[in-house]
Amino acid sequence: MKKLGVFVCWCGSNIASSVDVEQVVVQAAKLDGVVHAEHYMYMCSDPGQQKVKDAIKEKGLDGVVVACCSPRMHENTFRKAAGLVGLNPFLLEIANIREQCSWVHANNKPVATAKAVSIIEATLDKVKQNLPLETITIPLNKRVCVVGGGIAGIMSALDLADAGYEVVIIEKEPAIGGHVAQISTTFPYFQKLPELLQKKIDEVNAHPRITVYLSSEVDELEGYVGNFKVTIRTRPAFVDHDKCTGCGKCFEVCPVSVPDEFNRGLSQRGAIFRYNQGSEHQLPIINRDDCLHFSDGEQENGEKCQLCVDACAEQAIDLGAIRSLQEELVGAIVMATGYDVYSPANLPEYGGGRLPDVIDGLAFERLLDPKGPTGGRIVRPSDGRVPKSVVFIQCAGSRDPERHKAYCSRACCMYTAKQARLYKRQVDDGTAYISYMDIRSDSRDFEEFVQQGMEEENLVYIRGRVAKVFPEGDVLKVFTADTLSGRQLEIEADLVVLAMAMEPKSGVRELAKKMNVTIDGDGFLSETHIKLYPVESSTKGVYLAGCGQSPKDITDTVSQALATSGKIQTMFSNETLIADPLIAEVKEDVCSGCGICIDICPYGARIMDDFKRISMVNQAVCQGCGACIAACPNKACELINSTSRQFIRMVDDFSHKAQMA
């Protein structure tokens, strides 16, 4: 027979005003097995907790019910207190008589009081069948895999590596740096980004604890928190970078000419090329899809094209290279997958993708880059003329729930102001118009930056969404409205710059599926809690940073990246991981191995034991949500300490009471 204790909290007047706590204690004391019952104004306070501890010690309680607020609030508090005096914490349960009783029956004291007693009685019956449990320990591999080598991945990796942990960066493109490598200048202080970034890239390359996989993607992910196995698929560069001297002869002979993605199509490149033409640090690679050797392109003499191979004095080019698969074992993963620019072709009314002088913001950044396709000169892509009138269109594709993206892309207001200011600094007799709906300049010195643009560079902000852009002669006509003056406007422009929405990187949906990470309706990776767990994904041990989670600027991206590093270091500060034992359990003799639970488990915690042909629970991964228990057709699994036996007993208690009333 268990010796049970009941502790009733007033919660100030929250509970005591509608529940007669004294009456509850009198009633509870009469219940089966209860040897101690008392009430107190704030049970969660230090003296309140002391009362619980004292009673456990003095009366030798082996089961405790605290009747108070939701277990979400103070279950941990009381379990910890009980543990301190030697009671197994899992033999303490919370009876929620605040959210589920006093608050909903505020005007009916007799009903609230009777209900509080029932809740306590039912919880006592649950405690009687609770098992004392020990926490589960899981081994921990203190290595990290960072998916994405943009600024988020770089900053997270550097911080973790500096803290002493080995880091693996997986980058899809042939170079790390991400979109930041394409951007010329920061806001709000006009710092030169390429220099800032190159410093960080050099640090990564020189770091003894960082391994970078370029042109690589996650092929497969197995395992769970502390023990992931990442399979990495690497596309070949076809160029041996140990032999290559970067002389550039191969570029000259390559007969292919395709738009350069890095320069947003503002220049051409060959099939063998430097990913960033302006970076002397990068060595050539071959894009298999563009190369004539791999397509049907036979030369006249019947041989496959290998002009670059012949041109290379160092014999660094090997067209026979194949893709490789490698495995890395890590304990935590940072998803820094980044964004894609929503294609301007989605905005035909602005001539996006059709008119050469309608470009997106990232292309404009390439024009501003001194090592970019124009050497940093702002000119029209169509005829190379300096534009004297530029219309910047904000919210292009953003904030349009009917046709495009419902969300705000956050960085565009600021980078547009920056671009317009840089334009005015270069072309001082030019006019920059900015079409906007609202100006969102919500960080330090951002508002001042925008205002300064208006005051000093005389940027003409026009409040209204542009209706259409069309060519007339060799200029562009922009039809818009100015809602401030109530006028419909027609503006003559030489160049139109679209501040396109950011969208999740292509392929992230499939990657999220492999990682078991949930994504939101727009395809961004979702965090566990927007306020309190902003960098934790739905899978334990997988963290989120940067624009893969939501559109943001460099400042916020880096903050988030460093937050992931902090979270991982906290996790790595222990030698093993500790998991809650309130998880699913399988009755091995009942399980038929149908596998329904494996499909239903949102955490990938159910696994088929191939030898026994039954479904097992991975203790490290299971979160105790109970989905498999509901789904199991023959009741082969149970949630530990929340068994159906316990719950049926609790329901019986309530229905018994209801019949009596």
Partner 1 sequence: MKTVVSRDQVQGDFVKKVAEISGENFFNCYQCGNCSAGCPSVNEMDLLPSQVVRYLQLGLAEEVRNCKSMWVCAACMMCQARCPKGVDISKIMEALRVLQLREVDAKAHIDVTDFSEDYLERAPQIAMISGYRKFLPL
CA separation for the pair 645, 318 (Å, rounded):
67
Q: Which is nearer to partner 1, 8 or 462 (CB)?
A: 462
Residue 448 interacts with partner 1 (CB under 8 A): yes or no: no
When asked if residue 451 is in the footprint of partner 1 (CB under 8 A), the reply is yes
At residue 5, the 3 state secondary structure works out as strand
Establish if 427 lies at the interface with partner 1 (CB under 8 A).
no
Assess 459 for contact with partner 1 (CB under 8 A): yes
Tell which one of 220, 455, 520, 652 touches partner 1 (CB under 8 A). 455
| Least CB distance to partner 1 at residue 213 (A) | 48
Residue whose token pair is 């994504």: 519
The Cα–Cα gap between 181 and 262 comes to 9
Asked if 464 interacts with partner 1 (CB under 8 A), we say no
If binding is defined by CB under 8 A, does position 465 make contact with partner 1? Answer: no
Task: Candidates 223-231, 330-338, 414-422, 448-456: pick the segment binding partner 1 (CB under 8 A).
Answer: 448-456
CB of 416 to partner 1, least distance (A): 16
Give the start-end residues of each E strand in 203-304.
Answer: 210-213, 216-224, 227-234, 258-259, 268-269, 272-273, 285-286
Residue 145 and residue 333: Cα distance in Å, rounded? 5
As measured in angstroms, the least distance from the Cβ of 462 to partner 1 is 8
Residue 491 sits in the site that holds partner 1 (CB under 8 A) = yes
Both tokens of 305, joined, read: 């094209």
Is residue 460 within the footprint of partner 1 (CB under 8 A)? yes
Q: Which is nearer to partner 1, 429 or 610 (CB)?
A: 429
Dihedrals phi, psi of 224, to nearest 5 degrees:
-155, 180
Task: Identify the residue among 217, 240, 400, 482 touching partner 1 (CB under 8 A).
Answer: 482
Q: Give the number of residues in contact with partner 1, rule: CB under 8 A.
A: 25
Task: CB nearer to partner 1: give 300 or 490.
Answer: 490
Nearer to partner 1, 64 or 497 (CB): 497
For the beta sheet containing 227-234, the strands, ordered from the edge strand earlier in sequence to the opposite edge, are 216-224, 227-234, 324-330
Alpha carbon distances (Å) from 204 to 157, 159, 208, 440: 8, 10, 9, 34
C-alpha to C-alpha distance for 157 and 210, rounded to whole angstroms: 7
Stretch that binds partner 1, among 76-84, 485-493, 509-517, 578-586 (CB under 8 A): 485-493
**Cβ nearer to partner 1, comparing 165 with 392:** 392
Does residue 373 have a cis bond before it (omega within 30 degrees)? no
* Greatest extent of the chain over all pairs of C-alpha atoms, in Å: 102
Among 276, 277, 409, 431, the residue binding partner 1 under the rule CB under 8 A is 431
Question: Could you say which of 149, 352, 381, 430 contacts partner 1 (CB under 8 A)?
Answer: 430
29 binds partner 1 (CB under 8 A): no
Decide if 285 contacts 215 (C-beta within 8 A): yes
**Contact by Cβ (8 Å): 470, 354:** no
Considering only residues 609 through 638, tell me which ones interact with partner 1, judged by CB under 8 A. Answer: none
> Which stretch in 75-83, 366-374, 458-466, 645-653 sits in contact with partner 1 by CB under 8 A?
458-466
Interface with partner 1 in residues 369-398 (CB under 8 A): 388-389
Of 63-71, 479-487, 535-543, 649-657, which segment contacts partner 1 by CB under 8 A? 479-487
Which residues pair with residue 213 across a beta bridge? 170
DSSP string covering 130-177: PPP--PEEEE---EEEEE--SHHHHHHHHHHHHTT-EEEEE-SSSSS-
Footprint of partner 1 (CB under 8 A): 388-389, 429-431, 433, 451, 454-455, 458-463, 479, 482, 484-485, 487-492
